[in-house]
Amino acid sequence: MPEFVRSDPSMWEAIYSDPSVPLDRSLVRLIIDDQRRLSRRWLYPIVRVFSRVLVALISIVKRVLPFRWMPLRTMDFLCVWFLRHFVSPDAVELLIRHFVVETNLVNFIIRNTSVPMEPVTLRPETLAGLGDSAVVEHDVNVYDVLIALDGVPLTAPAALDFTQLDIPWLDAERHQRRFLRLDIQTALCFMNIPFSMALTLEEYRRAVHSIRFDDSFMEILALVCDDDTFRHWKLGGLSLWMDSNVDVPRMVYRHALVCEYAHARLVKLAGGAYPRETPAAFD
């Protein structure tokens, strides 16, 4: 009778090795390293509750004082300053990368449908590029393309245009000395506070609701590419479910992952293989 050997596998190594994940291994490693930070384990559970309660209180007070509590330029400055001094370079790179990835998805839809709209240009390559109302523009682009698609037939073209699926080199200012190196989810909890203060109630509601269009984008990509794979990443976030009283940082993080999966699928369709060949060591 063979001797029973107790296995003690690493959750992180299993996630890293999972062959069903379509992302480049270097990106998977970046995400895993970010999730393993001490701030993610110890600080995030506390900050998550604190942020949600504070944002809820801000929303309540704003119903009585319905005006912009701070200029958008101030919000941009605070967020970039916070990212530069208190957030890990890995998390900053993931955040910058998301803006590029989502723009690539939006532009893919624009280029492969008859939508009367020019490709959008929001592709920041530096931390400073997240200023200048990039967060607001990022959400507005989603609405603009969906509204422009009204009445446009969603069918697969004769040949798909895979232009601009690249990810440029991103400057997360790794040379910058930081007081803390927070993970991305904890950082999002903190950043949601000035975000809710700077935006009007309607702007904040619009920004939060933009995340619910993930399923819409997956369906559009499935139709345009004639590929059911995109439907596997739909989360049941119906666009007709209008509720802004949600855990925004958690939804944003999940939204970023869905975008990465969809982007990787487009790269595979363009090149015939998932981009998983970048070497990376695991420890």
- Residue of 229 and 5 predicted with greater confidence: 229
Is 248 a domain residue?
yes
Tell me, what DSSP letter sits at residue 128?
Answer: G
From the list 159, 117, 158, the residue with the least C-alpha distance to 140 is: 117
Residue type present at position 24: D
CB 180 within 8 A of CB 195: no
CA distances from 93 to 11, 73, 82, 172 (A): 24, 22, 14, 5
Which residues does residue 87 pair with via DSSP β-bridges, in sequence order? 182
Query: How far is 50 from 151, CA to CA, in rounded Å?
Result: 43
Tell me what pLDDT residue 249 has.
92
Does residue 74 carry a pLDDT above 60? yes
The domain in which residue 60 lies consists of: 37-271
Domain count, the chain: 1
Q: Which residues fall within 8 angstroms of residue 131, CB to CB, at 6 or more apart? A: 76, 77, 79, 80
Does residue 245 carry a pLDDT above 70? yes
Q: How sure is the predictor about 277, in pLDDT bands with cuts at 50, 70 and 90?
A: low
CB 52 within 8 A of CB 59: no
Is 258 a domain residue?
yes
Query: How far is 100 from 80, CA to CA, in rounded Å?
Result: 17
Is 151 a domain residue?
yes
Q: How confident is the model over 46-70, as pLDDT tens digits?
A: 999 999 999 999 999 998 888 788 8
Is 12 a domain residue?
no
Give kind and range of the element (H or E) at residue 61: helix 44-64
From the list 115, 122, 231, 201, the residue with the least C-alpha distance to 168 is: 122
From the list 172, 251, 167, the residue with the least C-alpha distance to 209 is: 251
Tell me what pLDDT residue 254 has.
96
Is 4 a domain residue?
no
Tell me what pLDDT residue 101 has.
97
Quote the longest CA-to-CA distance of the chain.
75
Does residue 244 carry a pLDDT above 80? no
CB 99 within 8 A of CB 134: yes
Does residue 237 carry a pLDDT above 80? no
Is 25 a domain residue?
no
Q: Which H, E and C letters describe 4-49, residue by residue?
A: CCCCCCCHHHHHHHCCCCCCCHHHHHHHHHHHCCHHHHHHHHHHHH
Structure tokens at 72: 């958008």
Tell me what pLDDT residue 278 has.
47
